[in-house]
A and B are shown apart, each in its own frame.
Chain A
Amino acid sequence: KAGVTQTPRYLIKTRGQQVTLSCSPISGHRSVSWYQQTPGQGLQFLFEYFSETQRNKGNFPGRFSGRQFSNSRSEMNVSTLELGDSALYLCASSFISGKAAEAFFGQGTRLTVV
């Protein structure tokens, strides 16, 4: 059974550009969450999607957005990139939203903004 797949694994972007990251959850999982990991702030919750609906959003500026498709795949977009957006972006999927669900993480996308 395939795990959570995130693409691309590495990205280098210039300040002011935008970027789109992709996450394919484990087959059958309908809940997808996104996290940002930096050395200073640790792991911080970005947003959570279930059945194409955003259920929760973390404390991030509006430049960070996401969506989920009918096949449960999710994308997150960051517009007008800043140097501080450099981070490891992690996606997690779980089988049943809000229940006794175990979260499984992908390998992450390492974003570097120069």
Chain B
Amino acid sequence: KQEVTQIPAALSVPEGENLVLNCSFTDSAIYNLQWFRQDPGKGLTSLLLIQSSQREQTSGRLNASLDKSSGRSTLYIAASQPGDSATYLCAPRRGGSEKLVFGKGTKLTVNP
């Protein structure tokens, strides 16, 4: 059974800082991994999808890395802004299914 852990659970940083969010998963037999952000009371917004064959995926100020063999993924956010404040969730997916397994997320607060 896949279990996902995200560390830290909460993070507060001043605007402009670069930061790293961590995600670990117990079953390395994944097909891909997706990072999302969730604003309070809202749905999930997809940030990045990284395939199991990839090491990194980039979108703007965001960079996700994946080390499938060690069961780890990181999300790097460059030059953080107050608008980045949200809960960030990672979710690996096995092949043959659309089922995503989520961690509890990292709640990020970027202070102006």
Binding site for B on A (CB under 8 A): 4, 6, 31, 33, 35, 42-45, 48, 50, 55-56, 58, 88, 90, 92, 94, 97-98, 100-108, 110
Q: Which residue from B32, B41, B46 sits with its C-beta under 8 Å from A104?
A: B46
Nearest CB of chain B from residue A35's CB, rounded to whole Å = 8
Q: Tell me the interface secondary structure of chain B in the complex.
A: loop
Question: Please, which residue of chain A has its CB at the minimum distance from the CB of B103?
Answer: A42
Q: Are A45 and B99 CB-contacts (below 8 A) given A105-B36, A105-B43, A105-B44?
A: yes
Contact A98 B95 (CB under 8 A): yes
Can you spell out 21 A-B residue pairs with CB atoms less than 8 angstroms apart?
Answer: A4-B43, A33-B99, A33-B100, A35-B100, A42-B104, A43-B100, A45-B99, A45-B100, A55-B98, A56-B97, A56-B99, A90-B43, A97-B98, A103-B98, A104-B46, A105-B36, A105-B44, A105-B45, A105-B46, A107-B42, A108-B43
In the A-B complex, the 9 residue pairs with the smallest Cβ-Cβ separation, listed nearest first, are A43-B102, A105-B44, A105-B43, A107-B43, A102-B49, A98-B96, A108-B43, A42-B104, A48-B98
Binding site for A on B (CB under 8 A): 31-32, 34, 36, 41-46, 49, 51, 89, 91, 95-105
Nearest CB of chain B from residue A102's CB, rounded to whole Å = 5
Contact B51 A48 (CB under 8 A): no
**A44: B residues at CB distance < 8 A:** 102
Contact B34 A106 (CB under 8 A): no
Nearest CB of chain B from residue A6's CB, rounded to whole Å = 8
What is the bound-complex CA distance between A105 and B97, given in angstroms? 16
**A110: B residues at CB distance < 8 A:** 41
Contact B32 A33 (CB under 8 A): no
Nearest CB of chain A from residue B38's CB, rounded to whole Å = 9
Contact A108 B42 (CB under 8 A): yes
**B102: A residues at CB distance < 8 A:** 35, 42-44
Most interface-central of B43, B44, B91 (chain A CB within 10 A): B43
Besides the contacts A33-B100, A101-B98, what 8 more A-B pairs have beta carbons closer than 8 Å? Answer: A31-B98, A35-B100, A35-B102, A42-B104, A45-B99, A45-B101, A102-B49, A108-B43
**A6: B residues at CB distance < 8 A:** 43
